[in-house]
């Protein structure tokens, strides 16, 4: 496998690949293509690419660029896992100039807690201070 790079240029993103992965994920099963497209258009997105510009991973940040950011939809295609691509993605996210000085960055995941801990993420010590509207099957009920 060759070298990989990260870009925030949405023009490089393969929307079909990104949608297919997310629509088959545990966190957004069945999400419509137009919803993924709109989420990308309104977020700071990070694509991971091989040296032939083929997309192999993705991460999306929803942010006001001043106080808060939410990391979402992080993935690396299965055939490219174990090659350090998730670290490249996280290095780019955490180091991005528009994400510096934020009071809080959050994510919700069942996976890769060890990776995220290396970047300063930790379990919420006071979960009673957080509330949510959660509709885990929203895309399957349409």
* Residue 137 placed within a domain: no
Question: Which whole-number Å values give the CA distances from 57 to 71, 98, 133, in the listed order?
Answer: 14, 21, 28
pLDDT for res 136: 86
Query: pLDDT for 92-130, tens place per residue?
Result: 999 999 999 999 999 999 989 999 999 999 999 998 999
Q: Is the pLDDT of residue 10 over 60?
A: yes
Who wins on pLDDT, 2 or 132?
132
Query: pLDDT for 46-86, tens place per residue?
Result: 999 999 999 999 999 999 999 999 999 999 999 999 999 99
* Residue 78 placed within a domain: yes
Q: How far is residue 88's CA from residue 111's CA, in Å, rounded to a whole number? A: 17
- Angle, vertex CA 13, rays to CA 99 and CA 60, nearest 5: 30
Q: Please report which helix (H) or strand (E) contains residue 79, including its range.
A: none
Q: Report the CATH number at residue 66.
A: 3.40.630.30
Q: What is the pTM of this model?
A: 0.93
Q: How far is residue 14's CA from residue 56's CA, in Å, rounded to a whole number? A: 10
DSSP 58: E
* Residue 140 placed within a domain: no
Residue 104 region by backbone torsions, left for phi larger than 0, else alpha for psi between -120 and 50, else beta: beta
CB 59 within 8 A of CB 71: yes
Rounded average pLDDT over 4-31: 97
Structure tokens at 138: 């929203």
* Residue 123 placed within a domain: yes
Domain that holds residue 10: 5-129
* Residue 134 placed within a domain: no
Residue with tokens 């990070």: 46
* Residue 142 placed within a domain: no
* Structural domains of the chain, count: 1
* Residue 103 placed within a domain: yes
């Amino acid at each position: 496998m060759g070298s990989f790079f990260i870009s925030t240029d949405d023009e490089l993103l393969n929307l079909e690949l990104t949608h297919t992965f997310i629509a088959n994920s545990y966190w957004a099963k069945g999400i419509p293509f137009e919803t993924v497209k709109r989420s990308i258009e309104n977020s700071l997105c990070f694509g991971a690419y091989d040296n032939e510009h083929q997309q192999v991973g993705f991460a999306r940040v929803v942010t006001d660029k001043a106080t808060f950011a939410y990391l979402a939809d992080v993935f690396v295609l299965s055939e490219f896992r174990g090659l350090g691509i998730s670290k490249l993605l996280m290095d780019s996210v955490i180091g991005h100039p528009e994400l510096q000085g934020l009071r809080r960055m959050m994510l919700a995941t069942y996976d890769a807690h060890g990776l995220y801990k290396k970047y300063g993420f930790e379990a919420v010590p006071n979960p009673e201070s957080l509330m949510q509207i959660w509709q885990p099957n929203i895309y399957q009920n349409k």
